[in-house]
Structure 1
């Protein structure tokens, strides 16, 4: 009976997929971390994903992120653990932010990280917050390795910074020889910051080798009064493209999902996360094993 139930669960849910998310959590510092109800929502958002890029981390004293990870792991229902890698504090002058990747250790590992330098030959200080590039290995997914390039642009410089991601691509591809790339983050890629006439000047957009999974008509903003596709996911590589679960690229509306008012949701962020799923190499077997493992841990 137990095996039948497990088989039925697999037939209904389908193959296990790797969910990759990007979330601008907006000014994530001590003030926000002190709000229990806000932290609960952030933990729920992250726990949905196998890899989560977090942006706008303002944690100069390292007082915010360790408690977040402790809370996240203490509430993990499956018993697996999340790990993370985090960038140095990035930004011009006194304003600084960090990028962080939180990942489910049982499914993925970090092969290498690369803090893109702030000064490139002939191209001075291209980014306000240089990408913190991470090379992931995912042995259980259909595509075994991929590079994620995060970016939180400065709104007034969005066109230039999105375009400069092409140079990051060339540099990292030569450095690591990877063929699979995911560019994601808060690109501020809409609503006046990237006028339609400027798209032709963005190499990541007009080169057909790059596919934009979150389109111009999507709304990644929480406020009902705005409709902007600020947050994006862009992919490169034939193997990676073939591994994407069809129609899995989406905006996650945590306001509706968790029954929040707009005011409550805005306490969390003014951005919704964006996500995409990658196919499992052996989804059937992986799902069976995970379910049996969960049964054993619970003693049932």
Structure 2
């Protein structure tokens, strides 16, 4: 039995090598329309950024002809190994109060997650109609390979001048989703414009998502999610609700992806992609490396180890 142990551990490590955490990301690509779509260098960088993630929320898509996401999917799948990283997407309607319209889109790895349900928040509460500039596009994901197997993502891209009201209204979206689907795990993410002059310190007390302790903010107020060196604002945020999803976050995984530094770009080149950096975090896979290793560890024989003088 003792001689078989190394083989067993090798097999265990091989099995664990196929188990990965789930990386969930949010990225405002800033005015993502025909000009960026037709720029191969810009698209290549965006694809590289998306490929780091298992679920990527893209915002500020301006695409009346529905070309951008199919193009991204073709690029993502064309550069992936067969059967391992095939992407799909789900996209909202074109949202906005006037001729200016945007879309939310989720690009995701099909071998990691699937979509259970989705809907557009109606934003028609009596006395509080049309609170959102772009109503959240709510998506319920199933994730069989993670410690938390399903979760709802509620995206938001606010208008800066009304960001306090819009972030506060996410609480009403949360209550609406709970009534309809009764899920237990929630992720709120996007470009909340939740920093600097748009949400001054005195205004946080007006935001229910902030004042209620059951909502956990992963990106802090002192972070900088902006590309420009002259700004330091935590515009982009991730907020969690649900005991299981909170306990399933990989420690220290919530972060900002500085693609300018990672890809050795000048500030001007980076701004050609976006004026926002993506924000991200990871969920733990099913099982535990430590627990599995312990189950295969040899039992103590009772012999004392020789001690060095």
Q: TM-score, normalised by structure 2?
A: 0.87
Give the equivalent residue in structure 2 for 1:48: 52
For each residue in 1:107-156, what CA deviation from the matched residue of structure 2 results, as whole angstroms up to 9, or x when unmatched? 10000001101322221101000000000000110001100000000000
C-alpha deviation, 1:271, in angstroms: 0.3
C-alpha deviation, 1:15, in angstroms: 5.7
Structure 2 Cα separation of the partners of residues 60 and 276 of structure 1: 31
C-alpha deviation, 1:62, in angstroms: 1.5
- Quickly say closer, same or farther: Cα 1:214–1:9, change in 2 above 3 A: farther
Give the equivalent residue in structure 2 for 1:165: 170
Could you tell me whether the CA contact under 8 Å between 1:15 and 1:282 is conserved in 2? no
- Quickly say closer, same or farther: Cα 1:77–1:3, change in 2 above 3 A: farther
Could you tell me whether the CA contact under 8 Å between 2:69 and 2:89 is conserved in 1? no
Structure 2 Cα separation of the partners of residues 117 and 194 of structure 1: 25
Alignment of 1:260-275 (within 5 A): 260-275=265-280
Give the equivalent residue in structure 1 for 2:299: none
Give the equivalent residue in structure 1 for 2:123: 118
* 1:67 pairs with one of 49, 64, 71: 71
- Quickly say closer, same or farther: Cα 1:140–1:67, change in 2 above 3 A: same
C-alpha deviation, 1:58, in angstroms: 0.2
- Quickly say closer, same or farther: Cα 1:282–1:122, change in 2 above 3 A: same
Structure 2 Cα separation of the partners of residues 127 and 142 of structure 1: 33
Whether 1:57 aligns to 2:61 is: yes
Alignment of 1:106-185 (within 5 A): 106-185=111-190
C-alpha deviation, 1:10, in angstroms: 7.8
C-alpha deviation, 1:65, in angstroms: 2.0
Q: Which runs of 5+ in 2 are unaligned?
A: 1-5, 290-309
How well do the aligned residues superpose, as a CA RMSD in angstroms?
Answer: 2.0
For each residue in 1:45-104, what CA deviation from the matched residue of structure 2 results, as whole angstroms up to 9, or x when unmatched? 101000000000000111222111111111124643101100000001101000000110
Q: TM-score, normalised by structure 1?
A: 0.90
Structure 1 Cα separation of the partners of residues 222 and 96 of structure 2: 30
C-alpha deviation, 1:23, in angstroms: 0.3
Equivalenced residue count is 283
* 1:91 pairs with one of 84, 93, 96: 96
C-alpha deviation, 1:2, in angstroms: 11
Structure 1 Cα separation of the partners of residues 118 and 66 of structure 2: 20
Q: Which runs of 5+ in 1 are unaligned?
A: 285-300
Give the equivalent residue in structure 2 for 1:295: none
- Quickly say closer, same or farther: Cα 1:240–1:232, change in 2 above 3 A: same
Q: Which has the higher contact order (CA 8 A, sep 6+)?
A: 1
Structure 2 Cα separation of the partners of residues 52 and 83 of structure 1: 11
- SS of equivalent residue, structure 2 residue 270: helix
Whether 1:246 aligns to 2:245 is: no
- Quickly say closer, same or farther: Cα 1:62–1:276, change in 2 above 3 A: same
Deviates more, 1:1-10 or 1:79-88: 1-10
Structure 2 Cα separation of the partners of residues 283 and 238 of structure 1: 18
Structure 1 Cα separation of the partners of residues 39 and 185 of structure 2: 38
Could you tell me whether the CA contact under 8 Å between 1:59 and 1:65 is conserved in 2? no
